[in-house]
Structure 1
Amino acid sequence: MSIQAKREQRSALAKETRALMDANTGDNWGAEQQTKYDGLVAQIDRLDGEIDRDQKLLDIEAKQKHSTRTRAERDGISDDEAESRILDDKSIFRAWVAGGVENLTAEQREIVAKRREEMRNTMSTTTGSEGGYLVPREFSANLLEALKDYGGMRSVAQVIRTETGAAMDWPTTNATSEEGEIVGENVEVGSEDATFGTLAHVVYKFSSKDITVPFELLQDSAIDIEAHINQRLTERLGRITNRMFTTGTGTNQPHGVVTGAAAGKVGATGKATSVGWEDLVDLEHSVDPAYRRSGNCSLMFHDNTLRELKKLKDTEGRPIWLPGVDVSEPATLIGMRYTINQDMPTMAANAKSILYGDFSRYIIRDVMQVMLFRMADSAYTRKGQVGFLAFMRSGGRLMDVGGALKYYQNSAT
């Protein structure tokens, strides 16, 4: 079945689910309707998994085409020449990965030297004798792009990229309480200056920890070694950065979004591991309507929390979770979109387990230079391995002083 056919089938199931709920209000919702609802949701979940896998394959092809076009525009060359240069870069990178700088042919060395001179280190992520400069720019860009697949923060936050990691002062202001006035004839108007401030945005150095690759894997031409290393780097860097962007303390690490959010709703006694439908309503309305009208507001929580939320019912006994009718339309809880983030605290005593608000006010900043080093000293050679180590610089902080993001906190007992 094609991905389009799966999407159409999913859309039909979602519409059937919504129609079921619309047609069964009040006392009409019973065990029969709940059983049918559960069956429809199970089918939708299965199709979502299949569509997601199919879409990833299509995305890979689209990214390759986009990378070629971007390279062509950047270097002022044709798409064919850009594709040829990308293939050259991959070939050089693989040769370096397999055997270090000494493994490059004279032609490959000449290409590296020419690229560095013509395009101001186009292939460079760092200048080093061990070959850090052999890392193609596309490798770094693709790694940063792939980080969105890990955790959830990058999918909703605002992500910017800078060439350097110099500290930035981000301007802030809170205009939610400002208003105009009525004035009489010939009466002087009042004044109310906006209060501006700044928050420091700092980047931190993250390490992938060393990644070991056996000689046999490096020598196997059938293995896409670049993809293998990229995947492992992405997993490690994606997990640590997402955790820091979620719960980082702000002391020698990024300010996490949970750390920066304000209190929106604290559960009543007895809700140390639960949340009620009315708590979500209170959380939603704890955020100023000025933010809610932006269309950027959504929920964020751990998948275990979603499991419990799916069990909640509205005042008429119907589930509050609804599937999106279209694949691009997200599922909702009482009409609110949500993001799953496995680094969010699970529901426990005093846990800030649910966030709601405008996540675009959280700014993630990546420094474009990703450094990759190849290590082939005796510590690795004795084990028949080569080591690889990547560094990236990134930071994150909630750049808001008006309460754009609020949290639900479980009760103490």
Structure 2
Amino acid sequence: MSKKLLISALTAALAGNFASVPRGIVSVRADSGPGDVKALVDGVNRAFEQFKAEHTKQLDAVKAGLPAADITAKVERIGADLDAFQKALDEHSVKMAALEMGGGGGGTKLRDAEYSDAFKAHVKRGDINASLNKGAADEGGYLTPIEWDRTITDKLVLVSPMRQICRVQAVSKAGFSKLFNMRGTSSGWVGETDNRPQTNTASFASLAFGQGEIYANPAATQGILDDSEIDLESWLAGEVQTEFAKQEGLAFVSGDGTKKPTGILTYVTGGANAAVHPFGAIDVVNSGAAADITSDGIIDLIYDLPSTFTGNARFIMNRNTQRSVRKLKDGMGNYLWQPSFVAGQPSTLAGYPLTEIPDMPDVAANATPILFGDFAQTYLILDRMGVRVLRDPYTAKPYVLFYTTKRVGGGLLNPEPMRAMKVAANA
């Protein structure tokens, strides 16, 4: 996208004509210059200022009993475009991080986009009948991958938000168990010549973390592997890592633990694994309103967490929930949500960073749409052996299968550094 087109879109948006800004116009390339990034950051902040002004008008009209349909529609349009600006800024940060880590942009350019598109569709579909071969131009080609493990592992950190904020540990065995100190040690005051009777000693409890396996099994003919000059390595690695990240990201949030990680939400009070951890379940805080979230609920959630854990605490929620909390104000009329002021930094809620996790539930009665706490101390992700690729030219001749697997586990490390917001069913 040209800088001129970007500035034109921003000018239209900031002039109040948000309905005229085409959807998708705010997307940027990973190689956008500093001026484009600054324009996006400025656009987010100025759009939020206009959002606040129009939202205040909406609230005043509602309080005065005046018609507010037009203002409400305008607020919703501005909110949607503010979402688009913030999303474009977030995506740019991820792309730039990928480039800095060597995860994208390097190597030979594709000579034929049709090959790439066909292969991308094939991996998503997982249909062996659509395997690559050089006999059909629209079914693509593939060069044997080099350093897959490093490429995929690097990108997983970027595309799976839970990996960015939780503790990740490599394990060398099929299972993993952790000991927990249940305390219980006692003491007493004595005089110089008093007896020293035996005191109580701390006890221990253990918790086992299960693991599961994700796999992909794309294929290509040996002929196309021998003859192709098209670099599809990045496409194949990219498609596999995206699918792996999607699967494990969902499991880290809500997985049932059967052949997959156990999701953090299952350990919340009332969840399927609320009684599993030796320290108990993740405590819940009421949202303060029926099927909705309130400012008081956000404040209660923050202050229910012990101050020991607030230093690295953050919120997680999905984008729909962000739209709701963006309208919340404190007692002085200040908005709790604030946009990011620098590319690469997250937006904040009540002063704490906010990470978007698309797999979190929407706001609804009895739902748990928000978690707040120190995720590095709360949830543990286990990686066993990294990503493995097995080249199999025998099973489905004349196709060569690239059997790709990753064993990963996850579970609750400690419930104490975390709180969950439970949306009330009744006022």
Residue 391 (structure 1) aligns with? 405
| Higher relative contact order, chain-length normalized (CA < 8 Å, sep 6+) | 1
- Tell me, yes or no, if the aligned pair for 1:380 and 1:387 is still in contact at 8 Å: no
Residue 335 (structure 1) aligns with? 351
Task: Sort the Cα spacing of 1:363 and 1:233 in 2 relative to 1 into closer, same or farther, 3 A.
Answer: same
Quick one: distance in 1 between partners of 2:51 and 2:93?
30
Per-residue deviation, 1:17: 7.8
Among 179, 204, 214, the alignment partner of 1:171 is 179
Among 274, 278, 282, the alignment partner of 2:300 is 282
Residue 233 (structure 2) aligns with? 226
Deviations 1:203-232 (A, max 9, x none): 322223x33457897577453222122112
Whether 1:203 aligns to 2:211 is yes
Per-residue deviation, 1:280: 1.4
Instruction: Give the secondary structure class of the aligned counterpart of 2:102.
Output: helix
Task: Sort the Cα spacing of 1:55 and 1:338 in 2 relative to 1 into closer, same or farther, 3 A.
Answer: closer
User: Counterpart amino acid of 1:309?
Assistant: V
Q: Which runs of 5+ in 1 are unaligned?
A: 68-96, 100-133
Give the number of aligned pairs. 336
Whether 1:364 aligns to 2:381 is yes
Residue 285 (structure 2) aligns with? 265
Residue 322 (structure 2) aligns with? 306
Quick one: distance in 2 between partners of 1:187 and 1:6?
78
Instruction: Give the secondary structure class of the aligned counterpart of 2:424.
Output: coil
Per-residue deviation, 1:278: 1.3
Task: Sort the Cα spacing of 1:58 and 1:303 in 2 relative to 1 into closer, same or farther, 3 A.
Answer: closer
Question: Under a length normalisation based on structure 1, what TM-score does the superposition of the two structures give?
Answer: 0.65
Q: Which runs of 5+ in 2 are unaligned?
A: 4-31, 62-70, 107-130, 134-143, 269-281
Higher fraction of helix: 1
Task: Sort the Cα spacing of 1:61 and 1:359 in 2 relative to 1 into closer, same or farther, 3 A.
Answer: closer
Task: Sort the Cα spacing of 1:303 and 1:399 in 2 relative to 1 into closer, same or farther, 3 A.
Answer: same
Per-residue deviation, 1:13: 5.6
Instruction: Give the secondary structure class of the aligned counterpart of 1:282.
Output: helix
Among 18, 21, 46, the alignment partner of 2:85 is 46
Task: Sort the Cα spacing of 1:62 and 1:399 in 2 relative to 1 into closer, same or farther, 3 A.
Answer: closer
Instruction: Give the secondary structure class of the aligned counterpart of 2:390.
Output: strand
Quick one: distance in 2 between partners of 1:328 and 1:54?
5
User: Counterpart amino acid of 1:321?
Assistant: W
- Tell me, yes or no, if the aligned pair for 1:152 and 1:242 is still in contact at 8 Å: yes
Per-residue deviation, 1:50: 5.5
Instruction: Give the secondary structure class of the aligned counterpart of 1:5.
Output: helix
What is the alpha-carbon root mean square deviation over aligned residues? Answer: 4.7
Residue 309 (structure 2) aligns with? 291
Per-residue deviation, 1:153: 1.0
Task: Sort the Cα spacing of 1:135 and 1:160 in 2 relative to 1 into closer, same or farther, 3 A.
Answer: farther
